[in-house]
Amino acid sequence: MGATVVGGDDLDVLMPRAAISVLVLDPRVRKSDVPIVVRQLGFAHVTSTRILKPTHDRWYFYLVYGTPHFKGLVEFRELERTAVDEQERVRFAAKQEIREARTGQTELFTSDDVASVPASFEVERDVQRDLAVERLRALLRRHPKVRYEDALSTLLELPLVWEADIKRIILDLRVAGELDVVSLNLPKRTPKKGHLLVRRSVS
């Protein structure tokens, strides 16, 4: 799977394939346009992730990904999960190098010290997780019974939301009395493929 680099006039030349990734480098391209085009090519699931500039809190490029199967989303999000920590370490080291060059002083902590690495993406993750909660509630309002795989594919389209987050959201809503997780009509503790999420009736 290669990446298609998108500039200002490239949106019309994307060709469908088993899966597609689109690298958005041109700031003139609106981030919301590319997923629409990718979805119009027939991909059932479309999502994106952002890469920040090493020394600035602005995006360097966006990667938009389309796949016909929810498993592609799971794999894409797992890659994102493993990449964000490395991205933050690189950004921490780059910013630290600039600070040390400016002050002439060596700082105590390095990017290898995990506790010292700023987790700027956690603020974004909190926002996205809140959106995931509301998206799941909306899904259950429309469909009182939802397969776990369908909920997973819907919520994984949100950037920086990972399968472990979704399982935690489901369990939290279960504890809050908003849904049940069932398999063969028996309650289950941990959601997984083959299970149903069933909206509880509001008394």
**67-125: pLDDT as tens digits:** 888 888 898 888 888 877 777 777 677 777 777 778 877 766 665 555 444 556 678 88
Asked if 161 and 79 sit in the same domain, the reply is no
Which is higher by pLDDT, 82 or 34? 82
Asked if 45 and 131 sit in the same domain, the reply is no
Asked if 127 and 103 sit in the same domain, the reply is no
For 152-201, write each residue's pLDDT tens digit: 999 999 988 999 999 999 999 999 999 999 986 666 678 889 999 999 97
Strand partners, 46: 66
Neighbours of 95 (CB within 10 A): 16
The sheet carrying 45-52 orders its strands as 3-6, 20-24, 59-67, 45-52
Q: Which domain holds residue 69?
A: 1-117
CATH of the domain at 169: 1.10.10.10
Asked if 111 and 148 sit in the same domain, the reply is no
Cα–Cα nearest to 35, from 60, 62, 58:
62
Q: Distance between CA 33 and CA 23 in Å, rounded?
A: 13
pLDDT at 10: 41
Cα–Cα nearest to 95, from 64, 116, 73, 65:
116
Cα–Cα nearest to 151, from 142, 202, 42:
142
Split into its structural domains, the chain has a count of: 2
